[in-house]
Amino acid sequence: MRFAEAVARIERARTFAELGETYRELAKAVHPDAVSEAESATATRAFATLSRLYNERARVVVTGDIADLVVDGGTLNKIPRSPGDNDLMEAEAAALTGLHAQGDPKYRFYAPRLRDSYLHEDHERKRRRVNTIERLDGFVALSELKRAIDPRDAAWMWRRLLVGLGWAHRAGVIHGAVLEEHVLIDPEKHGLALVDWCYSGPRVKAIVARQREAYPPEVLTSKTAGPATDIYMATGLMTRLMHDPPRALRRFADGCLYDAPRMRPQDAWRLLHELDETLHNLYGPREFRPFQF
């Protein structure tokens, strides 16, 4: 796109939506570093206007650990508050790309799709990695659940959580932060999805500080993570959710919470079979239980 055309389009626009899908093309055309000295002042004004329109279009729906999520049609734009967290956004983009490229397609609904990932430069020339992610309608985070729940209700969440983790691990992806705010459920349909893959990877770059006690020792001491890390955190999450779990479920959970990773289960899908046996012995054949959030 030519410089004059880009400037004209930006000046005519009253909202970001009027620019359509051309944001990055426009930003490239009017970037002050990409124009002649004679065009510099005009480019600076146009780029500032474009940045303002970009920021005004955003409606924050979630304020997360490191980023804000804003609605953009059927997607969410995840924008880090600090450019220093761009590496975590890149880790999430790599994880979601790997899941949907290498993971079994039957289980893709256990994580949102990555629609786009790009660098956005604001009027202060600060660059942030923005991830555009599929919006999961009807889902709510377990952190919104303000009461302990019946173990029979926790059972379907636990099962689906192990399915999702097993799918990720077989694709070579570690979640790294299986916490209440990162697990979404569809209460009506009993769906589940893992979100916020920013902490993904075998080397731990960051943790959710306010949830420090939920992490296993290897994360805090050696900054490493593996399948046993996710299983430890998933088990801790489910035990925190349950009201007065029966002794058999407590014993099952204890076997996943050893300090040493090598002592814990390593295969989420194999562990799922053990959970199913425990649940069957406790409650008999599985039945659908309507869940009121």
pLDDT in the model for residue 62: 73
SS3 (DSSP) at 117? strand
211 has a pLDDT exceeding 80:
yes
111 has a pLDDT exceeding 90:
yes
First to last CA, the chain: 50
- Asked whether 249 and 282 are in contact (CB, 8 A), the reply is yes
Structure tokens at 292: 């009121």
58 has a pLDDT exceeding 60:
no
Q: What element of type H or E holds 31? A: none
φ/ψ bin of 223: left (φ > 0), alpha (ψ from -120 to 50), beta (otherwise):
left
Structure tokens at 291: 């869940």
Q: Token pair 């799918």 is at which residue?
A: 167
Tens digit of each residue's pLDDT (9 = 90 or more) over 218-241: 999 999 999 999 999 999 999 999
38 has a pLDDT exceeding 90:
no
Structure tokens at 249: 């479920």
In single-letter form, the type of residue at position 137 comes to: D
Closest residue by Cα to residue 132 from 91, 79, 193: 79
Tens digit of each residue's pLDDT (9 = 90 or more) over 140-182: 999 999 889 999 999 999 999 999 999 999 999 999 999 999 9
Cα-to-chain-centroid distance, residue 164: 13
